[in-house]
């Protein structure tokens, strides 16, 4: 497949790479080695589809490095970005919610190194490795909480608040400090923001231009820097 380049031999991945990651943090190095020995590791280029909504969920995944964009398509055919998943988290864990197909499409938001396992080993992992199950469901709970929060925002907040809250979540989850503020640590376009906030591209462009004039953000091609986080917080809370 041209969408990825096969990574280096799995035996060269050290167990210490997983010791800090919640589903594996309670395991011994020997147990982590067992898990790695059952995995496939691949490097994906930015913008590569890992799996599509509705595909058979025959594997589950973990982002070792990079970011994943989770996308849903509405009955009307509109694309909505549901979540961004950072490195160190599992995704595509349809088995954990009782599904046999993937509920959404996963696309790399940056170049990414991804581990994957056949879904047939999921039940064995849950039973055999302490903390794997509890930490996995904790992650699911946090994601459901974020999705519920976004539903509330859609129903109760004005466009400016929704966009401000979305940018704040992105910099809190993935931001890296740069000279002029905190930058979202992967490529993000104005179209992406419109899909995340149920807002038109025109409105996103108008808001970002206005915020840039007021020193709140700096918007460059596929990159957004929040220059004044407290100012953005004030906008997010306005009219609340």
State the CATH number of the domain containing residue 126: 2.60.120.10
Examine the domain organization and report whether 114 and 203 are in the same domain.
no
Shared-domain flag, residues 139 and 169: no
Q: What percent of the chain has pLDDT over 90?
A: 45
* DSSP 8-state class, residue 139: H
131 and 57 both lie in a single domain: yes
> What share of the chain has pLDDT > 70, as a percent?
93
User: Could you report the per-residue pLDDT of 80-116, keeping only the tens digit for each?
Assistant: 888 899 998 999 999 988 999 999 999 999 999 999 9
State residue 4's pLDDT score: 38
The whole-number pLDDT of residue 11 equals 45
Task: Based on the fold, state whether residues 80 and 182 are members of the same structural domain.
Answer: no
Judge whether 65 and 112 are in contact, CB under 8 Å. yes
**CATH number of the domain to which 164 belongs:** 1.10.10.10
Q: What is the pLDDT of residue 238?
A: 66
- 24 close to 32: Cβ distance less than 8 angstroms: yes
**What is the arithmetic mean of pLDDT over 42-50?**
95
How high is the pLDDT of residue 23? 87
What's residue 239's pLDDT?
52
**Do both 124 and 169 map to the same domain?**
no
- The residue among 5, 142, 134, 2 whose CA lies nearest residue 84 is 142
The closest alpha carbon to 64, from 112, 111, 27, belongs to: 112
- Report d(CA 94, CA 140) in Å as an integer: 11
Average pLDDT over residues 27-40: 90
How many other β-carbons are positioned within 10 Å of the β-carbon of residue 230?
Answer: 8
Q: Phi/psi of residue 183, each to 5°?
A: -100, 135
Query: What total of structural domains would you count in the chain?
Result: 2
Positive or negative: CA dihedral 90, 61, 117, 6? negative
Rounded CA-CA distance 110/46 in Å is 4
Residue 35 sits at the vertex; the CA angle it makes with 45 and 121, to the nearest 5 degrees, is 90
Tell me the C-alpha distance between 138 and 222, whole Å: 32
Give the pLDDT of residue 3. 39
- Of 21 and 7, the one with more pLDDT: 21
Angle (CA) 33 37 40, round 5°: 130
Those residues whose C-beta lies under 8 Å from the C-beta of residue 120, and which sit 6 or more positions away, are none
| Residue numbers of the domain that contains 170 | 157-237
Q: Are residues 76 and 12 in the same domain?
A: yes
CA–CA separation, 32 vs 155, rounded Å? 43
- Alpha-carbon distance values, 48 to 26, 43, 106, 221, 237 (Å): 32, 10, 9, 19, 36
3-state secondary structure of 107: strand
Same structural domain for residues 182 and 148? Answer: no
Taking residues 14-21, what's their average pLDDT?
85
Choose one of 152, 171, 197: the last residue of a domain. Answer: 152
Give tens-digit pLDDT for 160-219: 999 999 999 888 888 889 988 999 988 899 999 998 888 899 999 999 999 999 999 998
| pLDDT in the model for residue 12 | 63
CB atoms within 10 A of CB 152: 10
Q: Please check whether residues 218 and 107 belong to one and the same domain.
A: no
Residue 6 CB neighbours (<10 A)? 10
């Amino acid at each position: 497949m041209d969408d990825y380049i096969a990574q280096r031999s799995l035996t060269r991945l050290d167990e210490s790479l997983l010791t800090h990651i919640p589903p594996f943090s309670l395991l011994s190095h020997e147990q982590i080695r067992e898990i790695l020995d059952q995995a496939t590791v691949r490097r994906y280029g930015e913008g590569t589809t890992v799996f599509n909504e509705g595909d058979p969920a025959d594997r589950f995944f973990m982002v070792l490095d990079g970011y994943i964009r989770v996308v849903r398509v509405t009955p009307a055919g509109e694309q909505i970005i549901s979540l961004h998943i950072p490195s160190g988290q599992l995704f595509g864990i349809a088995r954990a919610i009782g599904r046999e197909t993937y509920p959404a499409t996963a696309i790399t938001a940056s170049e990414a190194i991804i581990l994957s396992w056949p879904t047939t080993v999921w039940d064995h992992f849950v039973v055999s490795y302490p903390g794997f199950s509890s930490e996995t469901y904790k992650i699911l709970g946090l994601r459901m909480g974020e999705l519920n929060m976004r539903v509330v925002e859609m129903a109760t907040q004005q466009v400016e608040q929704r966009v401000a809250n979305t940018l704040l979540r992105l910099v809190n989850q993935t931001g890296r400090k740069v000279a002029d503020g905190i930058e979202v640590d992967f490529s993000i376009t104005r179209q992406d923001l419109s899909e995340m906030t149920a807002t038109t591209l025109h409105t996103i462009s108008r808001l970002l231009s206005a915020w840039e004039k007021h020193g709140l953000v700096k918007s460059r091609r596929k990159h957004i820097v929040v220059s004044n986080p407290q100012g953005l917080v004030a906008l997010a809370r306005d009219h609340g």
